[in-house]
Amino acid sequence: MTLQDAGAWIIQRLTPVFGEDEARAISRWLLEYFSSDRKMPASLYRNRDLPQEAEALLPGYLARLEQHEPLQYVLGEAWFCGLRFTADKRALIPRPETEELVEWIISEQKFPLSNRSVLDIGTGTGCIPITLKRRLQPFTVTGIDVSKDALDLARQNAQQLGVEVNFQQIDILDESQWSLLLPVDIVVSNPPYIPAAEIKNMNAEVTGFEPHLALFVPDTDPLLFYRKIAQLGLRLLKPQGEIYLELHHDGAAGTTKLFREAGYKTLIRPDMQGKERMLKAWK
C-alpha cells in the first residue's frame, strides 16, 4: 500500500464520522506522521510505500479515531510552539490559544535575560513551563498541578526536551498549600474555566477523553480558579510581578472585574481569531 492509497482509505473511513474536510485534514496529519520526512511536500512522498509497521498500526488508529478519540492521543504526541510533547489521557491536549499566551510572555521579556522566576498553575503536559524554560533559559520555572498523573507526564516531557523544570503536586484551591510556593516574578495559568453546563454542547473528542478535572468548573462559580489566582498573586508576586491567564471565550469582562476589584491593573489581549482570550494583570 502506498501512502497515497493509505490516504484515500483514511478519508473513506473517516468521512462518515467527521465529514470530508476534517477527514482529509486527519489523513494529511497521519501521512506526515508515517512519512520519513515530515517537512517533505505530500506530492513528493505520496507514491512511497507505507512502512510495514505503519500498515499494521493504521487499522487500530482508525478504529480509535472512529470512536472520537483525539488524534493527538492516538499518535501519543502533540506539537506546541514547535516542540513535540508526549500526549495522553493524563492531561489536556495543548492548544494554539495557549501558544499565543506563551509567546506574549516571551515577547515582553527584556534581553539580555536575567534570572527571573515563573510559576505555571495547572501545568498538565508541562507545555507552558517547558517552552518558557527552553526559550528563556536563565529563568527558574516551576509547574504545579493537583494531578499526580499529569505531573508524571510533565516530568517525562521535560526530560525528553532536555530542560529542568521544578514540578510540584499542589492543589491551588487549598490555601493551606500556598506556603509551599516561593515568591515569583510571573504567574501563568490556563486554568479550568468551562462551566459544567457546557458539557452537553462540546465535542465528544473533548468530553469523552480529556480529563474533566482540567476543564470544568461549577456553574455556580465559573471564576473559581481566577479568584484563587488573584488572591495567591497578592501573596506571591514580587514587586513588578505579573500574571498571564488564558480565558473562557466570553469571560474577559468578569475576569477583568475580579482582578481590578482585587487591586490589579489589567490588560486584555485578543487571540488570532479576535476573541478576548488572554489577560495580563499586575499590581
Give tens-digit pLDDT for 45-99. Answer: 567 888 899 999 999 999 999 999 999 999 999 999 999 999 999 999 999 999 9
Q: What are phi and psi of 116, to 5 degrees?
A: -95, 170
Work out the percent of the chain whose per-residue pLDDT is above 90.
87
Question: Residue 116's pLDDT band (boundaries 50, 70, 90)?
Answer: very high
Cα gap 140→88, rounded to integer Å: 27
Q: Give the closest residue to 75 by CA, choosing from 32, 131, 33.
A: 33
C-alpha cell at 98: 495557549
CB 62 within 8 Å of CB 14: yes
278: amino acid identity, one letter:
M
237 forms beta bridges with 184
Write down the pLDDT at residue 271: 94
- Other CB atoms within 10 A of residue 236 CB: 17
pLDDT digits (tens, 9 = 90+) for 75-85: 999 999 999 99
Question: Residue 189's pLDDT band (boundaries 50, 70, 90)?
Answer: very high
Mean pLDDT computed over every residue of the chain: 94
Cα gap 247→275, rounded to integer Å: 10
Cα gap 126→52, rounded to integer Å: 33
Write down the pLDDT at residue 208: 94
Residues 167-189, mean pLDDT to the nearest whole number: 98
C-alpha cell at 117: 522566576
Q: Which residues in the chain belong to E strands, given as ranges?
A: 77-80, 83-86, 117-121, 140-145, 166-169, 184-189, 194-195, 216-217, 237-246, 265-270, 276-282
Write down the pLDDT at residue 268: 98
Write down the pLDDT at residue 125: 98
Question: Residue 41's pLDDT band (boundaries 50, 70, 90)?
Answer: low
Alpha helical stretches, state H, 19-147? 20-34, 42-45, 52-66, 71-75, 96-107, 127-135
Q: Report the interhelical angle of 20-34 vs 3-18 (nearest 10°).
A: 140
Question: Residue 44 pLDDT more than 70?
Answer: no
Helix (H) or strand (E) holding 231: helix 224-236
Write down the pLDDT at residue 38: 53
Biggest alpha carbon–alpha carbon distance for the chain: 63
Burial (Cβ within 10 Å: 0-12, 13-18, ≥19) of residue 207: middle
Q: How far is CA 67 from the centre of its chain?
A: 22
Cα gap 95→79, rounded to integer Å: 9
**Stretch among 38-42, 45-49, 252-256, 279-283 having the lowest mean pLDDT:** 38-42
Question: Residue 39 pLDDT more than 70?
Answer: no
